[in-house]
């Protein structure tokens, strides 16, 4: 288990601080993550990766000459926020455009896409290549739905080497896509990982059994089998990967292949080498020529006991890019010509933006909103462990800590805006930005969308009415559905959000006060959240483990119910006063 930490909610930030302190000659901290400490040539395409913390050396450990130019670092197992991704890309961008490349997970896609849209709006060329190497997460006919695991190393390395040869963005994208098309990975686990501060692992594997096809966020495996010998494990993984060769490769005989045997956290190097001796023999027996094999930790899952095998099938274009020199904190190859280290300006810190003027009525409403956010923060602090437990059943277990971080940051930003004289709209939009940035992940992005929609509709000019709140809630609903692409029945927060919005509108239209209408709507949301226990997930990380989630409510819907019920209590108190 993860034993060494201070406040679990600060674990990712404190990791990043220590990582940079130990590697200042290679990386430097920027808001949201890290970039190369060395100068990036003007006009060079920059390769930006990123994802949740807990996977070291992915993603920050792969930043340096010959590999990634920067990495956005999210919370444990949660995608970085759109603001983090944008900030890292802006800090690294050198005039040649940006290539985003990262694992294919819903939260990462939402946040990287939002950052990409923002960069493009500013006139910066930006493209994306998601990594989809995990053969266990979707069938071959649906490769675009597969997860990205340890094969990301291959894509980032090849794309960055292509950028350093001077290729333009379109060509770097083409090469990265070619690399992704020629990687396949499969993983196994013998025991689950434990989040900092958690009392139990995200999942357990029965003694003597092995989970096959697990995800790097602790998602349970797709099947179980008896734990084999080291040779037996090599035979299982090589057999699965040789059964699905890349398009255009008829047989392994005569092909050049890079095996990447990756430890997931607790399997020691000696064990990996025992497995690799058999992997090498099997590939050679199949007629493949092994090129530059890699054995070690490249994409972990905290303390998970497990391993994965990636096969990168080379061609004449990819091989020199793969074997080109690299110098990062954890991945070194050959000898690079060291670029000059950037001399950082002394950070002065940006002053908080002035709040816009607001009416007395709007400021009075802002006091109630701040009280609601404070109450939500308290409730989510108390519920964090339970939300994490629900999420771990078929997902990655980060929902509780993500909501906790988001609510704390949102309330702090709201209180600061209120103290500066902000009205209801500004308090909500400041909370939205802080929540999204601090929480990261899918839920952080969606709550940022919701709070911003509320704030923009309520504004700062007058006291919100019951009907204006209904309109704002409708805008938040539409924003979440449009951004997350989920529908009722997908087993997501939308299953609780839609009945909440409909019930609130009906109650207010029927003459109910806001407090009464909100209470009715909250009750309908709580009931709808509970009913998601009978649904199978059709979106997000829980989708590959749909059957495992039967009988358990969706954590996002459940937390939505907790939040709106808590706000109902605050509105009742405000109405009574």
What is the structure's pLDDT at 416?
96
The reply to whether 551 and 499 lie within a common domain is: yes
Neighbours of 206 (CB within 10 A): 8
Coil, strand or helix at 67? coil
Q: Identify the pLDDT of residue 349.
A: 41
- My answer on whether 18 and 94 are in the same domain is yes
Same domain, residue pair 466 and 518: yes
- The per-residue DSSP string of 212-279 comes to ES--TTSPPPSEEEE---HHHHHHHHHHHHHTSPPTT---STT-EEEEEEEE-BSS-HHHHHHHHHHH
Residue 350 confidence (pLDDT): 41
CATH number at residue 251: 3.40.50.10440
Is residue 420 located within the same domain as residue 322? no
Q: Is residue 320 domain-shared with residue 380, that is, in the same domain?
A: no
Q: Is residue 557 part of a domain?
A: yes
Extract the tokens encoding 168.
């333009």
* Cα gap 101→353, rounded to integer Å: 32
61 vs 361: CA distance, rounded Å? 51
Within this chain, do residues 321 and 382 fall inside the same structural domain, yes or no? no
Q: What is the average pLDDT across 155-177?
A: 98
Q: Classify residue 382 by burial, with Cβ atoms within 10 Å: 0-12, 13-18, 19+.
A: exposed
| Pair 281, 147 in one domain | yes
Rounded to whole angstroms, how far apart are CA atoms 96 and 118?
A: 17
Strand ranges in 16-170 using DSSP code E only, listed in sequence order: 27-30, 33-36, 46-53, 70-76, 98-103, 126-131
Residue 100 CA to residue 85 CA, distance in Å, equals 9
Residue 368 and residue 329 share a domain: no
In a domain, 3, yes or no: no
Give the model's pLDDT for residue 442.
87
Q: Are residues 115 and 174 in the same domain?
A: yes
Length of the chain: 577
Which single residue is written with the structure tokens 């309520």?
A: 458
pLDDT-above-70 percentage for the chain: 95
CB-based burial of residue 353 (10 Å sphere; 0-12 exposed, 13-18 middle, 19+ buried)?
A: exposed
At 35, give phi and psi (nearest 5°): -135, 175
* Residue 347: inside a domain: no
**Domain presence at residue 351:** no
Flag whether 344 is in a domain: no
- Does 253 share its domain with 380? no
Q: Sign of torsion, CA 164 169 170 175?
A: positive
For the domain that residue 555 is a member of, what is the CATH number? 1.25.40.340
Number of domains in the chain: 2
Where do we find the tokens 């007395």? 360
Q: What is the pLDDT of residue 347?
A: 42
- What's the pLDDT score for residue 353? 65
Contact 434, 370 (CB under 8 A): no
333, 348, 379 — which closes off a domain? 333
* Domain endpoint, select from 293, 317, 333: 333
pLDDT tens per residue, range 492-539: 999 999 999 999 999 999 999 999 999 999 999 999 999 999 998 776
Residues involved in catalysis: 217
Strand, helix or coil for residue 32: coil
Q: Is residue 352 part of a domain?
A: no
What's the domain range around 198?
8-333
Task: Please state whether the peptide bond connecting residue 57 to the residue before it is cis, i.e. omega within 30 degrees of 0.
Answer: yes
Asked whether residue 83 is assigned to any structural domain, the reply reads yes
Query: What are 375-419's pLDDT values in tens digits?
Result: 999 999 999 989 988 888 867 678 998 999 999 999 999 999 999
Q: Please indicate, yes or no, whether residues 267 and 317 belong to a single structural domain of this protein.
A: yes
Residue 346 domain-assigned (yes or no): no
445-459 average pLDDT score? 95
Domain boundary among 318, 333, 348: 333
Residues 369 and 311 placed together within one structural domain of the fold: no
Q: State the residue for tokens 């003027």.
A: 357
Model pTM score: 0.86
Query: pLDDT of 398-410, one tens digit each?
Result: 899 899 999 999 9
Long-range Cβ contacts of 17-21 (<8 Å, 24+ apart): 19/56, 19/60, 19/61, 19/329
Encode pLDDT of 298-354 as tens digits: 999 999 999 999 999 999 999 999 999 999 999 999 999 989 999 875 443 444 568
- Backbone dihedral region for residue 485 (phi beyond 0: left; psi -120 to 50: alpha; all else: beta): left
């Amino acid at each position: 288990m993860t034993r060494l930490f201070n406040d679990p909610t600060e674990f990712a930030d404190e990791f990043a601080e220590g990582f940079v302190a130990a590697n200042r000659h290679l990386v430097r901290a920027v808001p949201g993550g890290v970039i190369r400490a060395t100068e990036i040539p003007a006009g060079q395409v920059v390769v930006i990766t990123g994802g949740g913390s807990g996977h070291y050396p992915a993603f920050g450990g792969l930043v340096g000459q010959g590999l990634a130019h920067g990495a956005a670092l999210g919370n444990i197992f949660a995608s970085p926020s759109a603001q983090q991704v944008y900030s890292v890309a802006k800090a690294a961008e050198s005039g040649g455009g940006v290539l985003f490349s990262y694992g294919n997970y819903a939260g990462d896609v939402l946040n990287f896409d939002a950052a990409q849209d923002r960069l493009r709006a500013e006139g910066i060329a930006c493209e994306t290549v998601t990594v989809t190497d995990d053969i266990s997460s979707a069938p071959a006919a649906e490769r675009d739905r597969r997860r990205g695991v340890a094969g990301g190393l291959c894509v980032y390395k090849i794309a960055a080497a292509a950028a350093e040869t001077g290729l333009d963005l379109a060509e770097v994208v083409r090469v990265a896509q070619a690399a992704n098309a020629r990687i396949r990975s499969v993983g196994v686990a013998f025991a689950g990982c434990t989040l900092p501060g958690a009392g139990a692992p995200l999942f357990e594997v029965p003694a003597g059994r092995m989970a096959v096809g697990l995800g790097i966020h602790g998602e349970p495996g797709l099947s179980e089998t008896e734990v084999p010998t080291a040779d037996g494990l090599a035979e299982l993984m090589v057999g699965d990967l040789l059964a699905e060769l890349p398009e255009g490769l008829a047989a392994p005989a005569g092909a050049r292949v890079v095996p990447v045997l990756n430890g997931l956290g607790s399997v020691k190097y000696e064990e990996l080498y025992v497995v690799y001796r058999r992997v090498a023999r099997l590939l050679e027996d199949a007629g493949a020529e092994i090129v530059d094999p890699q054995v070690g930790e490249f994409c972990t899952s905290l303390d998970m006991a497990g391993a994965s095998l990636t096969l990168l099938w080379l061609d004449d274009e990819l091989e020199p890019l793969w074997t080109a020199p690299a110098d990062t904190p954890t991945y070194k190859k050959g000898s690079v010509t060291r670029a000059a280290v950037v001399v950082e300006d002394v950070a002065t810190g940006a002053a908080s933006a002035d709040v816009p003027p607001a009416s007395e009525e709007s400021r009075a409403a802002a006091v109630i909103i701040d009280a609601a956010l404070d109450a939500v923060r308290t409730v989510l602090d108390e519920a964090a462990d339970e939300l994490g437990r629900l999420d771990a059943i078929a997902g990655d277990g980060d929902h509780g800590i993500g909501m906790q971080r988001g609510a704390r940051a949102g309330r702090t930003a709201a209180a600061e805006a209120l103290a500066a004289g902000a009205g209801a709209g500004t308090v909500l939009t400041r909370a939205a930005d802080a929540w999204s940035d601090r929480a990261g992940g899918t839920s952080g992005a969606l709550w940022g969308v919701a709070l911003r929609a509320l704030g923009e509709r309520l504004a700062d000019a007058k006291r919100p009415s019951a009907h204006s709140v209904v309109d704002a809630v409708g805008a938040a609903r539409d924003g979440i559905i449009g951004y997350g692409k989920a529908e009722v029945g997908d087993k997501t927060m939308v299953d609780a959000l839609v009945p909440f919005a409909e019930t609130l509108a009906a109650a207010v239209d029927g003459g109910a006060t806001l407090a009464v209408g909100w209470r009715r709507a909250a009750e309908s949301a709580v009931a709808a959240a509970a009913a998601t226990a009978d649904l199978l997930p059709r979106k997000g990380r829980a989708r590959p483990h749909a059957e495992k989630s039967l009988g358990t409510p969706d954590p996002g819907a459940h937390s939505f119910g907790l939040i709106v019920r808590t706000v109902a209590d605050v509105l009742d108190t405000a109405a009574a006063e």
